[in-house]
């Protein structure tokens, strides 16, 4: 008799990972190494796997996800918060690696999240450079704040040297990101299309490409949710609460907000939309978030249209 497909959850830690199905723990404390990855792949290949779900845990699960996908296994990468809320809905309050693996499998079976696709190497490189640039900028801002409060000339000199070093590192990373985009025709085309929109400069385009690769591939509701700029209702019964934005990718939202400040001045479509909302009595912060969403939807449409195959011209005999 054919075996029904099983849903698999893998809870990843720094040194080990646990594998469970929606019914029980299958493998416990497998080494998070290449040998451990091969072990779990060999184990799962002998079964009918519907979907494998792994939480997004940064670098600890990246190599395992890559190995599973290259082995032809279906993998979804999900946010930890979603799984934790799901566990609470099942009244599962205890938390161990083994329990989490089974919960992940149950989450996979109940929600069936979309499959994860490995990003191109150039996009991985661009994301790493973007993340590093954010770290350098954050460090520079902290050093500048320390310098403002510093009264010791020796320490102030050291802080100025540190700031100068970080500024050079920032410029170097900016140039490296430009090179990565220029060397990849697909990224170069997308970057140029994004920068055609008033308010989007090279840095914002690079951040969107690195941190929001789904841009141009999903619908307007999904892209807004991924960026965290969709206002959600908070109404119940006679209570009509204010709508708020939740979740999403904070780095993308921050870049969009800064781009919107320029777009509200120089992008005629966004500027007109801004003025209409202001005249309706909307708060300035609410209006700017609405403008950021409109700008993002516009960018999403531009990339989506560019990706559509062009109709072939009919040549008359």
Residues 233 and 299 in one domain: yes
Which one of 183, 203, 232 terminates a domain? 183
Predicted local confidence at residue 312, as pLDDT = 59
The last residue of a domain, from among 51, 79, 111: 111
The confidence score (pLDDT) of residue 59 equals 83
Work out how many domains the chain is built from and give that number.
3
pTM across the whole model: 0.80
Phi (first) and psi of residue 160, to 5 degrees: -65, -40
Does residue 146 sit in the same domain as residue 79? no
Q: In which element (H, E) is residue 227 found? A: helix 220-227
pLDDT in tens, the chain (317 residues): 345 789 999 999 999 999 999 889 988 999 999 999 999 999 998 889 999 999 987 788 999 999 999 999 999 999 888 899 999 998 988 889 999 999 999 999 999 998 998 888 999 999 999 999 999 999 999 999 999 999 999 999 999 999 999 999 999 999 999 999 999 999 999 999 999 988 899 999 999 999 999 999 988 888 988 888 887 766 666 666 677 777 778 889 999 989 999 998 888 889 999 899 999 988 888 899 999 999 999 999 999 998 877 665 545 54
Q: Are 139 and 64 found together in one domain?
A: no
Q: Is 151 domain-assigned?
A: yes
- Judge whether 285 lies within some domain: yes
Q: Is the same domain home to 94 and 143? A: no
Q: Are residues 21 and 107 in the same domain?
A: yes
Q: Is residue 47 part of a domain?
A: yes
Residues 235 and 291 in one domain: yes
Classify residue 316: in a domain, yes or no. no
Which of the listed residues 83, 111, 139 is the one where a domain comes to its end? 111
Q: Are residues 39 and 76 in the same domain?
A: yes
What is the secondary structure of 28-88 as a DSSP string?
Answer: EEEESSHHHHHHHHHHHHTS-EEEEEEE--THHHHHHHHHHHHTT--EEEE-HHHHHHHHH
- The predicted pLDDT at position 93 comes to 86
Residue 70 lies in a domain: yes
Strand-pair category, 16-21 with 6-12: antiparallel
Shared-domain flag, residues 75 and 166: no
128, 105: one domain: no
Whether residue 49 lies inside any domain: the answer is yes
Q: Answer yes or no: is 209 within a domain.
A: no
Q: Integer distance in angstroms from the first to the last C-alpha of the chain?
A: 60
Q: What CATH number has the domain bearing residue 15?
A: 3.30.420.10
Q: Which domain holds residue 266?
A: 220-307
Task: Give pLDDT, residue 162.
Answer: 97
Are residues 262 and 236 part of one domain?
yes
| Strand-pair partners of 31 | 16
Between strands 49-55 and 6-12, the pairing is: parallel
């Amino acid at each position: 008799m054919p075996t029904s497909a099983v849903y698999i959850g893998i809870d990843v830690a720094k040194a080990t990972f646990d594998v469970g199905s929606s019914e029980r723990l299958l493998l416990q404390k497998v080494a998070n190494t290449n040998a451990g990855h091969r072990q779990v792949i060999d184990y799962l290949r002998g079964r009918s796997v519907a979907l494998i779900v792994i939480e997004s845990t940064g670098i600890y699960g990246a190599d395992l996800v890559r190995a599973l996908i290259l082995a032809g296994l279906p993998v979804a990468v999900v946010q930890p918060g979603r799984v934790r809320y799901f566990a609470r809905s099942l009244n599962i309050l205890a938390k161990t690696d083994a329990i989490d693996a089974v919960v992940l499998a149950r989450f996979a079976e109940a929600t069936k999240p979309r499959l994860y696709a490995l990003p191109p190497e150039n996009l991985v490189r661009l994301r790493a450079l973007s993340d590093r640039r954010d770290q350098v900028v954050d460090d520079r801002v902290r050093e500048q704040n320390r310098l403002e409060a510093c009264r010791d000339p020796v320490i102030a000199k050291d802080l100025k040297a540190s700031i100068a070093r970080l500024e050079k590192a920032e410029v170097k990373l900016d140039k490296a990101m430009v090179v990565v985009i220029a060397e990849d025709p697909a990224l170069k085309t997308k970057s140029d299309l994004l920068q055609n929109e008033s308010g989007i400069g090279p840095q914002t385009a690079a951040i969107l490409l690195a941190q929001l690769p789904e841009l141009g591939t999903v619908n307007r509701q999904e892209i807004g949710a991924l960026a965290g700029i969709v206002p959600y209702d908070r109404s119940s019964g006679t209570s009509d609460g204010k709508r708020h934005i939740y979740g999403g990718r904070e780095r993308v939202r921050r870049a969009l907000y800064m781009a919107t400040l320029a777009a509200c001045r120089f992008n005629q479509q966004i500027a007109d939309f801004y003025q209409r909302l202001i005249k309706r009595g909307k708060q300035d912060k609410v209006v700017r978030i609405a403008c950021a969403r409109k700008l993002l939807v516009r960018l999403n449409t531009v990339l989506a249209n560019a990706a559509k195959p062009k109709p072939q011209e009919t040549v008359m005999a």
